[in-house]
């Protein structure tokens, strides 16, 4: 009868442990050296998070190997086997050219849409405002609060029994970046002039003409269509309407709104449209990782797709019998008080589109009363001047109050 010697069994276990120990140290060292070599190679093109994880795994395996004598064998083997499994999985994904972190980002983004400040991820708009959110904005002497209503729009007055709905579309100039809730021109109009209408401010900071088009489509789906629609335009919207690399990067990363949030640093996406067979086709939303370079004909594409958005918005409104007004909002050239004051001219392509399709157009450059300090967004005085100009417009007044005489600018 063979009886195993306890000393022999202990020796075998010890030898096995030493083999595992040296294997972990060797593998960890090889991975560490390979990562350094990989990173210094000019052809290196892997995402930084991938090679950094390989590097961490290599160092981890090396340390586990060194500590194997001091840790309980069960714990050491668990840690070592777990790291080896992770290493194998990561290696397979890397060979298949699948970024595991990007895949995880997308999964988290879909399952748990980030909600930061007043924004949230949106699979159509790219990002939108979060219903019921409150935001605080500071920049130099500017210190204001933003409140978003339960529907996701910046708060505006609520009449008890509104006779209709007036909708404002646009970006930060209409949203009212840098001013309090009661100071954007849509809010002033709802509070002081068009008091029996619900004025809805659907503008969102950073939005362009494609967002106005998408918002208009949503408005048309409601049971009761709006009485009147305004789109607050600035020339910079053209650069937002396609997939300009610098703009997609700006909204996706540079504002730093979601850094360290589940590893998702670019939840604010950008809607991508193309013109195919003379029609607008939605291609989904894109982020900085999706737009690597600008096409050589970028400006021409931006102009043509901007014209197409405006044409479609005008067509949709005319089919529904809803007046649409395109507003050329006042924009000051430069924010330095020492610079010569001036306003941005109306682009030729915009004037051509307005004339070709008969789009209602109001130039509000004369309403400029100054910008916010250190910022080119309209001051409260400019917002009020815009509101007064629109309230005094006889064509708009006739649409809203056909039985009343138009008011003079500054009345009320």
What is the reported pLDDT for 18? Answer: 67
- Over 70: is that where the pLDDT of 90 sits? no
In angstroms, the CA 102 to CA 86 distance is 16
The predicted structure's pLDDT at residue 255: 45
- Mean pLDDT score, 332-355: 69
pLDDT band at 367 (very low <50, low <70, confident <90, very high): very high
CA separation for the pair 361, 326 (Å, rounded): 5
**Residue % of the chain over a pLDDT of 70:** 68
What's the rounded Cα separation, in Å, for the pair 23 and 357?
Answer: 75
The whole-number average pLDDT for the span 38-65 is 63
**Top-confidence range, 87-96, 132-141, 198-207:** 198-207
pTM: predicted TM-score of the whole model, two decimal places: 0.71
Could you tell me the residue range of the domain that residue 21 belongs to?
A: 6-98
pLDDT at 56: 72
Q: Is residue 252 very low, low, confident or very high in pLDDT (cuts 50, 70, 90)?
A: confident
Percent of the chain at pLDDT > 90 equals: 53
What pLDDT, on the 0 to 100 scale, is given for residue 410? 45
Question: Token pair 């949030």 is at which residue?
Answer: 261
272-306 residue pLDDT tens: 999 999 999 999 999 888 887 898 899 999 999 99
Residue 39: predicted pLDDT: 60
Whole-number Å distance between alpha carbons of 333 and 299: 21
The mean of the pLDDT values for the chain is 82
Q: What is the pLDDT of residue 101?
A: 62
- 380 touches 179 (CB < 8 A): yes
Segment 328-347 shows an average pLDDT of: 63
Question: Region 109-137: what's the mean pLDDT?
Answer: 81
Is residue 357 a part of any domain in this protein?
A: yes
Say if residues 111 and 121 touch (Cβ distance below 8 Å). no
Binning pLDDT at 50, 70 and 90, where does residue 17 land?
Answer: low
**Residue 360 in domain:** yes
Q: Does residue 263 share a domain with residue 157? A: yes
Interhelix angle 48-67/6-40, nearest 10 degrees: 150
Q: What is the mean pLDDT of residues 149-173?
A: 97
Q: Check if the beta carbon of residue 54 is closer than 8 Å to that of residue 90.
A: yes
**In terms of pLDDT, which residue wins out, 77 or 358?**
358
Q: Do residue 119 and residue 94 come from a single domain?
A: no
Q: Assign 38 a pLDDT band (cuts: 50, 70, 90).
A: low
pLDDT tier for residue 131 given thresholds of 50, 70 and 90: very high
Last residue of a domain, one of 63, 98, 133: 98
Q: Is pLDDT above 80 for 249?
A: yes
Highest-pLDDT range among 3-17, 323-337, 389-403? 389-403
What pLDDT is stored for residue 362 in this prediction?
98
How far is the C-alpha of 154 from the C-alpha of 150, rounded, in Å?
A: 9
| β-pair type (279-286, 126-129) | unpaired
- Among the residue ranges 66-70, 142-146, 172-176, the one predicted with the least confidence is 66-70
- pLDDT, residue 355, reads 97
Six-digit token pair at 106? 């997308």
User: Domain tally for the chain?
Assistant: 2
> What pLDDT band is residue 94 in, cutting at 50, 70 and 90?
low
Q: Which residue has the higher pLDDT, 267 or 384?
A: 384
Backbone angles phi, psi at 112, to 5 degrees: -130, 80
Instruction: Provide φ and ψ at 187, rounded to 5°.
Output: -65, -40
Q: 156 and 54 in one domain? A: no
Is 22 within the bounds of a domain? yes
What average pLDDT does the segment 132-138 reach? 89
CB 129 within 8 A of CB 153: yes
**What local confidence, expressed as pLDDT, does residue 7 receive?**
53
Q: Which of 98, 126, 153 is the last residue of a domain?
A: 98
Does 222 reside within a domain? yes
DSSP 47: -
Residue 1 lies in a domain: no
Decide the pairing of beta strands 119-122 and 115-116.
Answer: antiparallel
Q: Mean of the pLDDT values across residues 386-403?
A: 96
H, E, C per residue of 124-168: CCEEEECCCCEEEEEECCEEEEEEECCCCCECCCCCCCCCCEEEE
Structural domain includes residue 412: no
Average pLDDT (18-28) is: 70
On whether both 86 and 136 belong to a single domain, the answer is: no
224 and 305 co-located in one domain: yes
Q: Token pair 């006889």 is at which residue?
A: 394
Residue 257 shares a structural domain with residue 343: yes
- pLDDT band per the 50, 70, 90 thresholds, residue 25: confident
219 and 87 in one domain? no
> Residue 295's domain is classified under what CATH number?
3.40.50.1110
Q: Does residue 251 sit in the same domain as residue 277? A: yes
Residues 315 and 215 in one domain: yes
Token look-up 């991508």 returns 272
Q: Has residue 300 been placed in a domain? A: yes
Last residue of a domain, one of 69, 98, 127: 98
User: Is there a single domain that holds both residue 295 and residue 154?
Assistant: yes
The better pLDDT of the pair 374, 281 is held by 281
For the beta carbon of residue 358, count every other beta carbon within 10 angstroms.
9
Give, as one character, the DSSP assignment of residue 258: S
pLDDT category, 229, cuts 50, 70, 90? very high
Q: What is the three-class DSSP state of 180?
A: coil
Residue 262 pLDDT level (bands cut at 50, 70, 90): very low
Same domain, 188 and 88: no
- Give start and end residues of each alpha helix (H) in 244-285: 245-249
Q: Do the domain assignments include residue 105?
A: no
The reply to whether 230 and 257 lie within a common domain is yes
In this predicted structure, the answer to whether residue 257 has a pLDDT above a threshold of 90 is: no
pLDDT score of 30 more than 90? no
DSSP letter for each residue of 305-354: HHHHHHHHHHHHHHHHT--EEEEE---BS-S-TTSPP-BPPPPHHHHHHH
């Amino acid at each position: 009868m063979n009886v195993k010697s306890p000393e022999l069994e202990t020796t075998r276990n010890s030898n096995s442990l030493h083999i595992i120990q040296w294997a972990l140290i060797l593998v960890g060292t090889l991975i560490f050296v390979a990562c350094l070599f990989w990173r210094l190679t000019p052809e290196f093109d892997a995402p930084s998070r991938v090679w950094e994880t390989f590097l961490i795994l290599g160092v981890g395996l090396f340390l586990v190997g060194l500590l194997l004598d001091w840790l309980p064998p069960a714990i050491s083997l668990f840690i070592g086997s777990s790291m080896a499994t992770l290493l194998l999985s990561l290696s397979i994904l890397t060979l298949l050219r699948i970024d595991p972190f990007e895949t995880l980002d997308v999964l988290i983004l879909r399952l748990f849409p980030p909600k930061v400040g007043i924004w949230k991820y949106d699979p159509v708009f790219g990002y939108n405002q979060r219903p019921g959110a409150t935001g605080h904005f500071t920049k130099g002497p500017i210190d204001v609060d933003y409140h978003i209503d339960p529907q996701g729009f910046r708060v505006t007055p609520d009449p008890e029994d509104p006779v209709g709905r007036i909708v404002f579309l646009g970006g930060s100039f209409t949203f009212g970046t840098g001013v309090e809730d009661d100071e954007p021109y849509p809010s002033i109009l709802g509070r002081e002039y068009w008091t029996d209408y619900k004025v809805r401010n659907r503008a969102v900071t950073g939005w362009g003409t494609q967002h106005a088009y998408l918002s208009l489509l949503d408005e048309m789906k409601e049971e009761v269509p709006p009485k009147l629609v305004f789109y607050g335009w600035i020339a910079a919207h053209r650069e937002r309407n396609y997939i300009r690399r610098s703009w997609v990067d700006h909204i996706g990363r540079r504002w730093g709104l979601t850094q360290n949030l589940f590893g998702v640093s670019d939840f604010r996406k950008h809607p991508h449209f193309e013109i195919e067979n003379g029609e607008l086709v939605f291609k989904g939303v894109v982020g900085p990782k999706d737009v690597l370079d600008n096409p050589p004909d970028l400006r021409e594409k931006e102009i043509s797709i901007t014209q197409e958005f405006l044409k479609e918005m005008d067509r949709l409104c005319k089919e529904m019998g809803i007046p649409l007004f395109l507003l050329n909002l006042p924009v000051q050239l430069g924010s330095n008080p020492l610079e010569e004051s001036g306003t941005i001219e109306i682009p030729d392509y915009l004037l051509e589109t307005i004339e070709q399709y008969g789009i209602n157009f109001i130039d509000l450059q004369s309403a400029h009363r100054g910008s916010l300090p250190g910022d080119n967004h309209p001051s409260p005085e400019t917002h009020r001047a815009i509101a007064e100009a629109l309230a005094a417009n006889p064509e708009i007044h006739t649409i809203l109050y056909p039985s009343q005489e138009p008011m003079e600018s500054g009345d009320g």
